[in-house]
Homo-oligomer: A and B are copies of this chain.
Amino acid sequence: MIIVMKAGATKKEKDEVLKRIRELGYTPHVIHGTTRDVIGAIGDERGKLVLQTIEPMHGVESVVPILQPYKLASKEVMKESSIIRISDSVSIGGSKIVVMAGPCSVESEKQIIESAEAVKKAGADMLRGGAFKPRTSPYSFQGLEEEGLKLLAKAREITGLPFVTEVINPETADLVAEYADMLQIGARNSQNFALLKKVGQLRKPVLLKRGMAMTIQELLMSAEYILSEGNQSVILCERGIRTFETATRNTLDLAAVPVLRSKTHLPVVIDPSHATGNHHYVASMSLAAVAAGADGLIIEVHPDPEHASSDGPQSLKPAKFADLMEKMRRVAAAVDKTI
């Protein structure tokens, strides 16, 4: 960590800062600059945010962290990309791009089975579908809950597709983990640390969605919560961040793919459906995600979007999805991957 002193800091102020740095277990190293002094605090600062407490001291202008605050998620700790096993047939992180598809919510047996069969036929690797739904409005459809999990399991039995579904609560996490192949942490729970710890204790892969106002560094810190509890199977998901632009529901930060690639060994999945909120824009962003180097995609597909209980406007119909899969295959081949 670097402590930048004020231009007019007194010797006494500097001495107090040096003393405090030593108290905290670091070795101070002073650089006398032209207009001010800068102090390097040497020592492993990961996991010790305490140096920040120097900021309110007299004579201190700012404290600049040098190391990233995450360890287990870092590429420095594990240089090779992680490949996360989901089932016997599906792993995320290699040259095969994994496509997860299905409706926003499980609504009925017919709807989820039809969806699963349609996305399977088009070539998807996994089924997605929500049983517990975190809805902005208390008056909106909140999901079929355990009944939804059972229907997802039935769809898996029929199609062979493993499924991912959201966990919204530490209390029901064990229940979801009994059924699901992968647990999803939604954007609104991306800093629900109690929930992150809970899924960190389970032995199921976790798809961690980036929060709407979450920096990439904070996403890695949330991953660190899960990893530090012992669960090494974390997949990161960019699903759009909130900006001033309203032409799309969120703004897809696709550059998160190469940025995360440079910082972490964890795989990265893109959700073009929530990012854009509009089915017209999903195909273009899916192809872009493949070209950008994403390890997977999670796409909303619904047999009848106009009658969907949630997220109809952003869901693709099966025929459109099949067409998109074909296009993605071509782009994947152009970047030496497969779908």
* A49–B55 CA distance with the chains assembled, in angstroms: 26
Pair A284/B313 contact, Cβ less than 8 Å: no
**Known interface pairs A47-B137, A258-B284. Does A53 touch B252 (Cβ–Cβ under 8 Å)?**
no
Q: Does A312 contact B (CB under 8 A)?
A: yes
Q: Does A144 contact B (CB under 8 A)?
A: no
Pair B56/A306 contact, Cβ less than 8 Å: yes
Q: Does A191 contact B (CB under 8 A)?
A: yes
Interface readout for A291-319 with B: 1 if CB under 8 Å, 0 if not?
11100000000000111100011010000
**Known interface pairs A192-B192, A248-B259, A291-B288. Does A56 touch B224 (Cβ–Cβ under 8 Å)?**
no
Q: Does A12 contact B (CB under 8 A)?
A: no
Residue in chain B with minimal CB distance to A314: B56
Q: Does A221 contact B (CB under 8 A)?
A: yes
Pair B254/A245 contact, Cβ less than 8 Å: no
Interface readout for A29-73 with B: 1 if CB under 8 Å, 0 if not?
101111110101011101111001111110000001011011000
Pair A243/B251 contact, Cβ less than 8 Å: yes
Q: Does A83 contact B (CB under 8 A)?
A: no
Residues of B within 8 A of A114 (CB): none
Pair B66/A33 contact, Cβ less than 8 Å: yes
Q: Does A121 contact B (CB under 8 A)?
A: no
Pair A193/B135 contact, Cβ less than 8 Å: yes
Interface readout for A246-266 with B: 1 if CB under 8 Å, 0 if not?
111001111111110110000
A83 to chain B, nearest CB (A): 20
Pair B188/A168 contact, Cβ less than 8 Å: no
Pair B284/A255 contact, Cβ less than 8 Å: yes
* A217–B246 CA distance with the chains assembled, in angstroms: 9
Interface residues in A66-116 (C-beta closer than 8 Å to B): 66-67, 69-70, 76
> Which of A123-131, A146-154, A176-184, A327-335 has 4 or more CB atoms under 8 Å from chain B?
A327-335
* A205–B306 CA distance with the chains assembled, in angstroms: 40
Residue in chain B with minimal CB distance to A66: B4
Q: Does A165 contact B (CB under 8 A)?
A: no
Pair A168/B139 contact, Cβ less than 8 Å: no
Pair A306/B53 contact, Cβ less than 8 Å: yes
Q: Does A15 contact B (CB under 8 A)?
A: no
Residues of B within 8 A of A34 (CB): 42-44
Pair A171/B170 contact, Cβ less than 8 Å: yes
* A197–B44 CA distance with the chains assembled, in angstroms: 41
**Known interface pairs A137-B221, A287-B292, A291-B291. Does A7 touch B255 (Cβ–Cβ under 8 Å)?**
no
A137 to chain B, nearest CB (A): 5
Q: Does A175 contact B (CB under 8 A)?
A: no
Pair A284/B276 contact, Cβ less than 8 Å: no
Residue in chain B with minimal CB distance to A262: B280
Pair B247/A241 contact, Cβ less than 8 Å: no
Pair A44/B49 contact, Cβ less than 8 Å: no
* A203–B211 CA distance with the chains assembled, in angstroms: 30
Pair A307/B53 contact, Cβ less than 8 Å: yes
Q: Please name the 4 residue pairs, one residue from A and one from B, whose CB atoms are nearest each other, closest first.
A: A213-B213, A47-B139, A291-B291, A188-B191
